[in-house]
Structure 1
Amino acid sequence: MPIATVNPATEETLKTFDPLDAEQLEHRLAAADAAFRQYRDTSYDHRTDRLRAAAGLLDQERDEVAHTMTLEMGKPLRAAQAEVAKCVKCLRWYAEHGPDLLADEFPAADDVTDSGAVRARVRYLPLGPVLAVMPWNFPLWQVIRFAAPALLAGNVGLLKHASNVPQTALYVEDLFRRADFADGCFQTLLIGSGSVENVLRDPRVRAATLTGSEPAGRAVASVAGDTIKKTVLELGGSDPYLVLPSADLERAARVAVTARVQNNGQSCIAAKRFLVHTDVYEEFAERFVRGMRELTVGDPMDADTDVGPLVSEGGRQDLADLVEDARTRGASVLCGGGRPANRPTGWFYEPTVLTDLTPEMRIHQEEAFGPVASLYRVADLTEALRLANDTPFGLSSNVWTQDEEEQERCAHELEAGAVYFNGMTASHPGLPFGGVKRSGYGRELAGHGPREFCNVKTLWYGAED
C-alpha cells in the first residue's frame, strides 16, 4: 500500500511520500535510543510543561489539523474538529494529573514486616522506546491517547501510522518537536507494514502498542511474544446496544443513531448490534430507522453533512459484502443498503438498518465497519445478554434501562471492557479503555495507560544494623 493522502470523497491522490530507507530508519531508531537515555531522567515538571505546550499549539492549530484529517480519511469536518479538541483535553489532563498517577507507592509497614523489610516502596519507571502501530479512523486521537501517557512516564515514541494518513502522522512528530520535547522523543516512521516486524525485533525497541485489525494484532503480538516484549492491543469491536422497557425511548433512539454512524460508522466502539426488548421494539425501531433515514450523506467538508465517505473502496466493498450476505440469507433491509444515488464519486455508503438476522449470516459475528446497524428483537434481558455476548469481541457495550437490578446484572454479565448505562460509549482520558476476548488486552488512558509501559519496581529496605 503506498504512503499517500487519497481523498476518499473524490478518490483523488493528493500527495505521496517515499518510505524511509534502511539508513534513515536506523538513524531514527538510534535517535530514539539516545533520546530515552536522557529523557528518562527528566522531572515530571519538565514532562508536564512539554505536554501543556503541545496542547497549546494543537489548540491554536485545530482548524488546520481537522482539515487535514478530513482530507485524508473522510470524517465530517466538525467531527475532526471535535477530535482535535479531545486531544487537547487529553494532553492537558495528563499534564495536570499525571505526576500523581505515577507517584511512588508506600506499602504499610505492618503489611511487609514479615518479609524482613523495615520499609518498602513501589516506583514506576519507563521501559524505553515504544513502537505505536496506529490506524486511520481516529488519526490524531489514537496517537495522542498513547503518546501523552507514554511521554509522561518517561518513554519515547516511535509511530508507525496507517499509510493513508501520512500528513497527520508527520504533524504529530512536528507538534512534539515544537513543544520542545528533545530530538528523538517522538518520531514518525514512514514505513510500510512489512517493515514493522524488523522494527519490533530491534532490541532498542522495548514494547509496542497497536490499535487496529485482528490480523495486525496477531502479527504484532506474535513477534512481541517471540522477543518477550510488552504489548497493548486494542482490536475490533461489535458493541451491543441494549434497550429495555424502562428506557427513555426518544433519547435512546436518538443517541443510537449517533452511536452507529459516528466517524462514518468506522469506529471500534461504535454501537453495531441493537438488542431491543419486544415490549418497546416497534417504537424504538420506528424512531431509529427514521433517524437513520434523515441523515445527510455528502461532502465531509460541508457543515450540513452527517455521514461522509468510507475510507477506501476496499472498505466500502467489505461492508457491501456483509450486507449482501445478510440480504441473500433472508435479512430485511429497513433503510439504505447501497451506494447513495447522488454520490457517483467517492466511497460512500448509505446509513443502513438490517433486521431478521440469524446466526449463519456473516454480520452476526463479523464487525461492520461503516454505517450499517443490526437490529434484533429480544424477549427479555436474558436473551439480550446471550446475544450481546455471542460475539468474539468484547470492547464496550451500551445499556438503556432505569432499573438498578438490570444495570447490576449487565455490569456483571456483559463480556466487555466497559458498560455505558443510558449513554453512548466514548473514550475519556480519566477512564481506562480497552477490551477483552478478541478485542485485545491491556488498557489505555487514566492511570492504567502510563503504567502499561512502566517497570513496576519494588524497593525493599532491610534494617541497617
Structure 2
Amino acid sequence: MTKMIQCISPVDGQVYAERPALSLSEAQMVAERARAAQAEWAARPLEERIALVKAGVAKLSEMKEQIVEELAWQMGRPTRYGGEFGGVNDRTEYMSSIAAQSLAPMVVEDSDRFLRQIAREPVGVVFIIAPWNYPYLTTINTLAPALIAGNTVVLKHASQTLLVGERLAEAFHAAGVPEDVFQNVYLTHDVTEALIQSRAFGFINFTGSVGGGAAIERAAAGTFTGLGLELGGKDPGYVMDDADLDAAVDSLMDGAMYNAGQCCCGIERVYVHESLYDAFVEKAVAWVKNLKLGNPFDAETTIGPMANKRFAHTVREQIAEAVAEGATALIDPALFPEDDGGAYLAPQILVNVNHEMRVMREESFGPVVGIMSVANDAEAIAAMNDSPYGLTCSLWTSDPERAAEVGAQVQTGTVFMNRCDYLDPALCWTGCKDTGRGGSLSVLGFYSVTRPKSYHLKKVTK
C-alpha cells in the first residue's frame, strides 16, 4: 500500500495537503535521471546556469501571494511578515555574484613549462533534505550554489511544508531549468536511508534534528558521501555591562520569539551582566507582553501557532519542569489566547533558571527564553559553552575588541556583535559540536558542492 505523507495545519489541526510517497524503485529512477542529466547540465556555460537559477528565483517571487498564504497554513507563520523572499533573493544574488571567482581554478603555475592548478568539479547529484521552519531559505542555501556549480539536485522537503518543494520545482522548471536537473520528491525515512546507502548522491545536505543527522550519518557510513549537517541549537545572547540596553532587549527578544521561536539561530538563553540584569528583565517582559498571539491570517497577529502541536507540547513540558524545579515564569499565559494542548502557545520568559534545567540545556525551538545574571565575561563564556550545541552567539557591547576577545572563546559557528538571528551569505553558515558539520553559503558553500581536481600538465618533454 502506498504511504501518504501529510501536512497537518497548525492553524486548525486539519490535513492541509497530502502526497503519495515514492517507492524505493521509483526513488531510484529519480536518482538515475538526475545522474544522467548532470553532465549535460554541467557542460552549459556558467553564465547560463547562473541566469537560469536567477530566473527560477524570479519566477518564485511571482508566486509570493500564494506562497505566503500556503506558509501560514503549513507552518503557522503570520502573513504580515510576507514570506522569505528578501533572503531568498539576496542569497541567490550574492552566490551568483561570487560564482565565477569561487569556481575558478587556483593556478599554482602557468609557465612555458607547466600548467599546475586545482580545479573545482561538481560532485554530481546533490540531495537536499530541507526543514520546515524556513523552508525556502534553507533550501536555497544549497540549491542555488549546487545548480550554479553544475550539479543536478533532488529535493526532499519536510512533511510539514509539503508544498514548498512543489513551488520551487514549478518556478525553476518554468524558468527553463530542465525537469531532470531539479526534481522534487516525497520520501519516507526508510526509502531515504536506502537511497543514501546505495550511493545515489555525491553530496547530502540535511537541516534538522540531531537524531535525524545521526540517522543520515549511519545511512551514509561506508559510502564516503559528503555530508553537510545543520542540526540542533541552543543559541545564547550575552549582554555586557556597556551594552545599549534597549537595543539588546529589542533584538534578543525578537530573536527569541520571532517565528514562534522556531528559528535555527533563534535566541534560547540570555546571560546579562548583573548591573543590567533587573532592567533587562523588566524591559524584556514588557516587550513580550506586546506580542499578539493568534491566527496567522489576522493582520494584528505577530506570533502564530507553532508548526505542530507536538512541538508545542515539548516546550510546555520544558516550562513546567523548570517551574517545578524553581524557575519563575514572568508571563501570564492568560494574556494570550492559548488553545489547550494545541499548537497555539503563549510566549514565556523564565528567570531563576540554571543549567540543570532542560529548558536551559536542550533545544526548545519555541517561544520561551531563560535569562540568567552573570558577574563577568569569564562567567558568561563558561555558561555559553556549557551546551552540546554551537551555531551562533550574540554579544552586546560597545567595544568591538572585547566582543572579538569573548567571541574567540565561545564554541560556536558564528559570533554576532549587537545583532542576532541573521544569516550573512558572504560568511560561511556553519556550526560545531552537536550542531553538526560542514558549511553553506560564501565561497565555502561552493566548495561543499564541488570536489577539488588537480592538473599537473608538463608542456615540454625534457
TM-score of the aligned structures, taking structure 2 as reference length: 0.95
Q: Structure 2 counterpart of 1:87, which letter? A: V
User: Would you say 1:327 and 2:328 are equivalent positions?
Assistant: no
From 269, 277, 280, the equivalent of 1:281 is 277
Select the residue among 54, 68, 71 that pairs with 1:69: 71
Given residue 89 of structure 1, which amino acid in structure 2 is its aligned partner? D
The Cα shift of 1:90 comes to: 2.0
Indicate yes or no: 2:92 matched with 1:91: yes
CA separation in 2, counterparts of 1:213 and 1:337? 28
In the alignment, structure 1 residue 49 sits paired with structure 2 residue 73: no
Structure 1's 419 and 2: CA in aligned 2 closer, same or farther, altered over 3 A?
A: farther
Q: 2:338·2:344 contact (CA, 8 Å) conserved in 1?
A: no
1:409 aligns with 2:410: no
Cross-structure match for 1:5: 7
**Which residue does 1:368 correspond to in 2?**
364
Tell me the SS of whatever aligns to 1:86. helix
The answer on 1:234 being equivalent to 2:235 is no
What are the equivalent positions in structure 2 for 1:273-312 lying under 5 Å apart? Answer: 273-312=269-308
Amino acid at match of 1:283: A
SS at match of 1:131: strand
**Counterparts of 1:392 and 1:128 in 2: how far apart (Å)?**
33
1:117-136, CA deviations, whole angstroms, 9 ceiling, x for partnerless residues? 83411111101111111111
- Whether 1:142 and 2:138 are equivalent positions in the alignment is yes
Which of 21, 24, 42 is equivalent to 1:19? 21
Q: Would the aligned equivalents of 2:292 and 2:336 in 1 still touch at CA under 8 Å?
A: no
Residues 448-463 of structure 1 mapped to structure 2, 5 A cutoff? 448-463=444-459
Partner secondary structure for residue 226 of structure 1: coil
Bigger drift between 455-464 and 342-351 goes to 342-351
- Aligned to 1:130, the other structure's residue is in SS state strand
The one-letter code matched in structure 2 to 1:402 is S
1:322 CA drift (Å): 0.7
Distance 2:31 2:161 in 1: 22
8 Å CA contact retained: 1:339, 1:348: no
Cα deviations by residue, 1:37-92 (Å, 9 ceiling, x for unpaired): 2112221011011012112212222121121111111111133x241221122222
Superposition pairs of residues 332-351 of structure 1, within 5 angstroms = 332-336=328-332, 340-341=336-337, 343=339, 346-351=342-347
Contact 2:28 2:195 in 1 (8 A): no
Report Cα offsets for 1:94-137 as digits up to 9, x if no partner.
23332222111112579xx9xxx834111111011111111111
Give 1:347 shift.
0.7
Which amino acid in structure 1 is aligned with residue 221 of structure 2? G
Instruction: Write the letter of the residue equivalent to 2:51.
Output: D
The alignment status of 1:359 with 2:355, answered yes or no, reads yes
CA 12–338 in structure 1, closer or farther in 2 if over 3 Å, else same: farther
8 Å contact kept, 2:209–2:231: yes
Partner residue in 2 for 1:220: 216
> Residue 39 of structure 2 aligns with which residue?
37
How far, CA to CA, are the matches of 1:205 and 1:310 in structure 2?
A: 33
Partner SS, residue 160 of structure 2: coil
CA contact (8 A) 1:336 1:353 kept: no
Rounded Cα–Cα distance in structure 1 between residues aligned with 2:289 and 2:335: 14
Q: Does the CA contact (< 8 Å) of 1:2 and 1:163 recur in 2?
A: no
Equivalent position amino acid for 1:70 in 2: A
CA contact (8 A) 1:31 1:183 kept: no
Match of 1:398 among 390, 394, 399: 394
Counterparts in 2 of 1:259 and 1:2: CA distance versus 1, 3 Å:
farther
Once the two structures are overlaid, the 10-residue window that deviates more, 84-93 or 388-397, is 84-93
Q: 1:338 to 1:394 in 2, by over 3 A?
A: farther
Distance in 1 between residues matched to 2:379 and 2:266, nearest whole Å? 21
CA distance change for structure 1 residues 92 and 320 in 2, over 3 Å: closer, same or farther? Answer: same
1:68 counterpart SS class? helix
Moved more, 343-352 or 246-255: 343-352
Q: Quick one: distance in 2 between partners of 1:450 and 1:382? A: 37
Tell me which of 237, 240, 244 is aligned to 1:244. 240
Q: In the alignment, which residue of structure 1 is the partner of 2:422?
A: 426
Q: CA deviation at 1:155?
A: 1.0
Q: Which has the higher strand share?
A: 2
Partner residue, 1:105? 106
Equivalent residue letter for 1:370: G
**1:371 deviation in Å?**
0.3
Partner-residue secondary structure (3-state), 2:350: strand
Percent identity between the aligned chains? 26
Paired amino acid for 2:281? A
Name the CA distance, whole Å, in 1 between partners of 2:4 and 2:374. Answer: 46
Aligned to 2:431: 435
Distance in 2, Cα, partners of 1:108 & 1:279: 59
**1:126-182: CA deviation from partner (whole Å, max 9, x where unpaired):** 011111111111111111111001111111111111112111121112222112112
Q: CA RMSD in A?
A: 2.0
Deviation, structure 1 residue 35 = 1.1
1:258 maps to 254
1:66 maps to amino acid:
V
Amino acid at match of 2:59: L
Name the CA distance, whole Å, in 1 between partners of 2:417 and 2:4: 42
Aligned: 1:128 with 2:129: no
Deviates further, 271-280 or 419-428? 419-428
Q: Which moved more, 1:64-73 or 1:231-240?
A: 64-73
Where 1:173 maps in the other structure, the secondary structure is helix
Query: Which ranges in structure 2 are unaligned for 5 or more consecutive residues?
Result: none
